Structure 1
Amino acid sequence: MTEPKRCRWAQGDALMAAYHDSEWGVPVRDSRLLWEMLMLEGFQAGLSWSIILKRREGFRAAFAGWDPHKVAAFGAADIERLMADPGIIRARAKIAAAIGNARAYLALTERGEDFGNWAWDLAGGRPVKGDGETVPARTPASEAISKALKAKGFKFVGPVIVYAWMQAVGMVNDHASDCFRRDQV
């Protein structure tokens, strides 16, 4: 049996192929999951996504299931605990950003805004299909969303990180033109 044609980045690695086939580019509307994915993209900065995938369960355990209420309550002792946790990326600035981002997320919801609706509204409300040939590192939309996130107090949300997040959560469909998932998501 031949393997289906996938985006080049998902070939040759079973974990990456499984993520590609079941998650990447599938529109996510759940606010908490959107926030979790944005946090993971921030931790991925400067690293490969496969490193993050291999540690995703470690991140979930370390960050209380990515419950923003619990993460927002983390203090200095939690930062030290996380810095000693081999199951995650131990970068103090990224850890501090995730905690601060939980607080920013909660502040947004306390103002009556739904993070998912807010983010999708900024992205145009529906998925945008890329041309299937070129994949930019950033776009005017990712720049605008990055700026809006920063204005709300979020950190580690530059336009390149935001564009990768937009791809991951299906705001953008950047599957290659010959990828079997392109027309499925």
Structure 2
Amino acid sequence: MHLIAGEDGLARPAWAAVDPLLRDYYDHEWGVPVLDETGLFERLSLEAFQSGLSWVTILRKRPAFRAAFAGFEADAVARFDEDDAARLMADAGIVRNRRKVDATIQNARATVALREQGGLPALIWSFQPETTPVPASYAEVPTQSAESLALSKELKRRGFAHVGPTTMFALMEAVGIVDTHLVGSHRRGTSGIWAADGTRAAAAAEASTPTERGIA
């Protein structure tokens, strides 16, 4: 069963239908457009930390992550040094993975540097595709796309780490750049960016032109 109707009568995918934390995240955050630098840097960081783990683990640790990484303010994290890295590795509240800790600090510095070329939000959103998947089942939900591959390559070129195409597709799903809510879900087509049929919502389509996108 791909969708489960809750006690409120709303249809959700199985992964979001039982655990209250995941249900709340699905109902109010996943797929909602994130357009600010801090919000995108946080999501980019958490998606990297999630690699190899369950998302609910990251959600449970998110308050600790925010405390440990200065609210994911890029300027603050960019100033982290070896002492900060050691502090983070001693923090049981977060995922203690040195490569991911170092990548987050590196990505903060890359985010600050990127402001001179328009900023992180403009870069990430420039890879929004013309259409989004219309999955009726989990099997129809892709794990990466031409756009996520291109975004991964561009971020790496700009000095970012731990930004593989699968992680970037997960980011794009989380922040509304693509809509992979299953057909029939109460969240399908509610972002204001995408219509339920996979085409861009009228207002979003009018605001975008081919020259603004990262790929043709």
Sort the TM-score into its range (normalised by shorter chain).
over 0.9
Map 1:65-144; keep pairs closer than 5 Å. Answer: 65-109=71-115, 111-124=116-129, 128-133=131-136, 134-144=140-150
Q: Greater RCO between the two (CA within 8 Å, min separation 6)? A: 1
SS across alignment from 2:126: helix
Match of 2:200 in 1: none
Deviations 1:72-101 (A, max 9, x none): 111111111000101100000000000000
Match of 1:155 in 2: 161
Larger Rg: 1 or 2? 2
Match of 1:176 in 2: 182
CA displacement at 1:135 relative to structure 2: 0.8
Residues 123 and 145 of structure 1 are in contact (CA less than 8 Å); yes or no, is this contact kept in structure 2?
Answer: no
Match of 2:41 in 1: 35
CA displacement at 1:3 relative to structure 2: 4.1
Q: What TM-score, normalized to structure 2?
A: 0.81
Gaps of 5+ in 1: none
Q: What TM-score, normalized to structure 1?
A: 0.94
Q: CA RMSD in A?
A: 1.2
- Number of residue pairs the alignment of both structures matches: 182
Gaps of 5+ in 2: 1-6, 192-216
The separation in 2 between residues aligned to 1:2 and 1:33, in whole angstroms, is 29
Deviations 1:52-83 (A, max 9, x none): 00000100000011111110111111111000
SS across alignment from 1:130: coil
The separation in 1 between residues aligned to 2:150 and 2:117, in whole angstroms, is 21
CA displacement at 1:119 relative to structure 2: 1.2
Identity of aligned residues (%): 44
Q: After TM superposition, where is structure 1 displaced by more than 3 Å over at least 4 residues in a row? A: none
